Amino acid sequence: MAGTDHSRAAVTGGPAVILVNPQLGENIGTAARAMLNCGLDDLRLVAPRDGWPNDKAVAAASGADSVLDRARLYPNVRAAVADLAHVYASTARDRYMVNRIVTAHRAAAEMRGFLAAGESCGVLFGPERTGLVNDDIALADTVLTVPLNPAFSSLNLAQAVLIVGYEWFAADDESAPETQHTGASRPANKAELFRFFDHFEEELLNSGFIRHPDKRPSMVRNLRNLFQRAHPTEQELRTLHGVVTAFMGPRARAKEGGEG
């Protein structure tokens, strides 16, 4: 449908759209077009297969150059979401992980509330062929899904972005849920949460809690999902860092004494 009117003011803002390992420049371009249709302009690209910038993306964007011009490139998902407080992972498949799951409609209302409260958020979209891997989903707070024909629920990248973007654009501000009160401390962003994960997981290894290398990936994902669902504040993470250090202190001192 034709509907471009450059005489009217553009709607911009909204959550970040993070495309993880997109394969084709054309798909990045059509996703950017879908974003601009819905007033989204924060496009983040994680290691696109065919490199960036990409002429095929520009051609497929059909005039959504403003989104492509602002696109930012990242080496991995952790870097792409580091500054965000809330992250949704879009997937159509059951990953057999303990996650909070919402529809795109519900996610849009939540994101309206988060952004109104000054809390940044974004949505992860996986590669066209495989979708997001479990380790990437474990970096998100919530799984976002679109209820479709259970026998054929696969979407191409631009379709997925358009559905989420449309729900965002159509969401009524007045219906957005209240955000959680966090007192004097703001919600932790992903970079702060990842630093805690690194600290906690390192000490679990040092303590001998994680004994079997083959079980480590699933155990780490489960623990990360637990803390993601809790939505800790920045102050709460500082407290958790202190708790982990306090528990490991006596063991660390005993080890140092034994080595002497």
Evaluate if residue 223 carries a pLDDT over 70: yes
**3: confidence class by pLDDT, cuts 50, 70, 90:** low
Evaluate if residue 108 carries a pLDDT over 60: yes
Mean pLDDT of the chain: 87
Report d(CA 165, CA 146) in Å as an integer.
Answer: 12
- What's the pLDDT at 214? 86
Is the model more confident about 250 or about 219?
219
* Residue ranges per structural domain of the chain: 16-175, 190-259
**250: confidence class by pLDDT, cuts 50, 70, 90:** low
**216: confidence class by pLDDT, cuts 50, 70, 90:** confident
Per residue in 188-198, pLDDT tens? Answer: 999 999 999 99
Is 190-259 in CATH node 2.60.40.2470?
Answer: no
Evaluate if residue 215 carries a pLDDT over 70: yes
Supply the DSSP string of 149-201, one letter for each residue: -TTS----HHHHHHHHHHHHHH--GGGPPPPPP-TTSPBPPHHHHHHHHHHHH
- CATH annotation of 16-175: 3.40.1280.10
- What's the pLDDT at 10? 44
Most confident among 41-50, 98-107, 124-133, 222-231 (mean pLDDT): 41-50
- What's the pLDDT at 182? 52
212: left (phi over 0), alpha (psi -120 to 50) or beta: beta
Report d(CA 238, CA 220) in Å as an integer.
Answer: 20
Per residue in 6-65, pLDDT tens? Answer: 444 444 579 999 999 999 999 999 999 999 999 999 999 999 999 999 999 999 999 999
**180: confidence class by pLDDT, cuts 50, 70, 90:** low
